[in-house]
């Protein structure tokens, strides 16, 4: 049965950055910036294969995060994922993927995330989101992925999967994570 509520001072609406503007717009609120100035975090996932098993973190969900000062606000973090999600990031198919899945314990998943300098918008009628990372955003993302590659190779990775359109599908020690 529907209920009616009356607010004395105001209403706080929290339906996410994507849905709040649409709800406000459908409610008749017309503000010049409604649906504009959408800010996002760019996230890049990588995977690395090591010669020895990677020691898992035991206990409650936890991980490791680093905020290197030279990466302009990027966060590098371990990512604890089920293997079917972790391996969705690698360009392996068929027998090669089957063999890699047998060695799940030898793989480590990480992410690099950073706040984007770009702004997008939400179309109040269709809900379509428009967002285009700037050249600065893409450069910062590339620096973060490069740092993850360097970190993994310093830790002994045999193969690094950068998951970036402007890089090789897989890198080996001695190859450059840079495009």
pLDDT in tens, 150-163: 888 998 999 998 87
Which sign, positive or negative, has the C-alpha torsion 73, 76, 80, 84? positive
Q: 3-state DSSP call for residue 14? A: coil
Average pLDDT over residues 42-69: 76
Average pLDDT over residues 124-132: 93
pLDDT of residue 167: 64
pLDDT of residue 109: 87
Cα–Cα distance list, 2 to 6, 20, 24 (Å): 13, 22, 20
- pLDDT tier at 168 (50, 70, 90 boundaries)? low
pLDDT of residue 135: 92
CA distance 167 to 179: 5
- Please calculate the CA angle 15-19-22 and round it to the nearest 5 degrees: 125
- Asked if residue 75 lies in contact with residue 63, where contact means CB atoms within 8 angstroms, the answer is no
pLDDT at 36 over 90: yes
* Cα–Cα nearest to 46, from 102, 82, 105, 87: 87
Beta pairing, strands 129-130 & 121-122: antiparallel
Residue in this structure with the two tokens 């996002």, named with its chain if needed: 40
pLDDT of residue 166: 62
Task: For residue range 68-121, list pLDDT tens digits in order.
Answer: 777 777 888 887 778 778 888 778 889 988 888 888 889 888 888 888 889 999
Q: Which residue has the higher pLDDT, 129 or 165?
A: 129
CA distance 74 to 41: 10
CA distance 55 to 36: 44
Torsion of Cα atoms, 12 then 15 then 20 then 22, to 10°: -130
- pLDDT tier at 130 (50, 70, 90 boundaries)? very high
């Amino acid at each position: 049965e529907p209920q009616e509520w009356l607010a004395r001072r105001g209403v706080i609406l929290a339906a996410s950055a994507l849905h709040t503007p649409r709800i406000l717009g459908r409610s008749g609120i017309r503000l010049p910036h409604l649906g504009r100035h959408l800010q996002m975090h760019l996230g890049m996932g990588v995977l690395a294969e090591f010669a020895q098993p990677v020691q898992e973190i035991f206990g409650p969900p936890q991980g490791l995060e680093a905020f290197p000062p030279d990466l302009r606000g990027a966060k590098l973090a371990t990512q604890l994922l089920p293997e079917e999600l972790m391996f969705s990031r690698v360009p392996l198919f068929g027998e090669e993927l089957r063999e890699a899945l047998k060695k799940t314990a030898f793989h480590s998943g990480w992410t690099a995330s950073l706040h984007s300098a770009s702004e997008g918008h939400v179309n109040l009628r269709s809900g379509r989101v428009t967002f285009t990372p700037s050249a600065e955003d893409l450069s910062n993302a590339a620096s973060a992925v490069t740092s993850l590659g360097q970190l993994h190779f310093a830790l002994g990775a045999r193969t690094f999967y950068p998951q970036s359109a402007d890089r090789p599908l897989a890198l080996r020690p001695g190859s450059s994570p840079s495009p």
